Amino acid sequence: MAERILLVDAITDDVELIQIALLRAGVTNPIDIVRSGEEAFDYLYKRGKYADRAGLYPLVILLDLKLPGVDGKEVLKQLKSTPLLNCIPVVVLTGSLAERDLIASYAYGANSYVVKPVDSQAFFDAIKSVGLYWTATSSPPPVDQCKIF
């Protein structure tokens, strides 16, 4: 079973474009989509509608900062301070060019910060690079053995 990607993004058009870009890049990992920070927590903690979710933790989390309710920075902050979840790589994938968002994302433990390009070809190229790096190049940690040191 291929390791899953968790995409946390509230913008339907962006979700569809990300899925298409990953598919075009040859990334065949299943993609689970959640639309809010709270839904991301439900997914990761296997609670609510995800209580019966099969499988382990995602290979990587693609996280937008602008989410309804609990925003992406708070999601990142909580993930990186939670044993086991703190080892899951998180790529902040956002439209924000704000330096404060960039700094906060890395301060909270982001593994990467990628601004969603406005140009469609640049967008596809960026998502392709992200997808191939995290699914084919990078070695994921054994999440079930991670804890805060």
Taking only the tens place, the pLDDT of each residue in 123-134 is: 999 999 999 999
Q: What is the pLDDT of residue 27?
A: 96
Contact 88, 67 (CB under 8 A): no
Is the pLDDT reported for residue 13 higher than 60? Answer: yes
Percent pLDDT > 70 in the chain is 97
Q: What is the pLDDT of residue 106?
A: 98
- What radius of gyration, in Å, describes the C-alpha atoms of the chain? 14
Handedness of CA 38, 39, 43, 46 (dihedral sign): positive
Third-level CATH fold of 6-10+13-69+84-128: Rossmann fold (3.40.50)
Q: For residue 19, what are its two tokens?
A: 């899925």
Is the pLDDT reported for residue 117 higher than 80? Answer: yes
**pLDDT confidence bin for 18, thresholds 50/70/90:** very high
C-alpha distance across the termini of the chain, in Å = 30
Is the pLDDT reported for residue 147 higher than 70? Answer: no
Q: What is the pLDDT of residue 5?
A: 97
pTM for this predicted structure:
0.94
Contact 80, 107 (CB under 8 A): no
Taking only the tens place, the pLDDT of each residue in 77-88 is: 999 999 889 999
Ordered by start, the domain boundaries in the chain are: 6-10+13-69+84-128
Q: Could you please report the per-residue DSSP string of 103-136? A: HHHHHTT-SEEEE--SSHHHHHHHHHHHHHIIII
Residue 59: C-alpha distances to residues 7, 39, 88, 122 (Å): 11, 18, 7, 24
Whole-number Å distance between alpha carbons of 29 and 49: 22
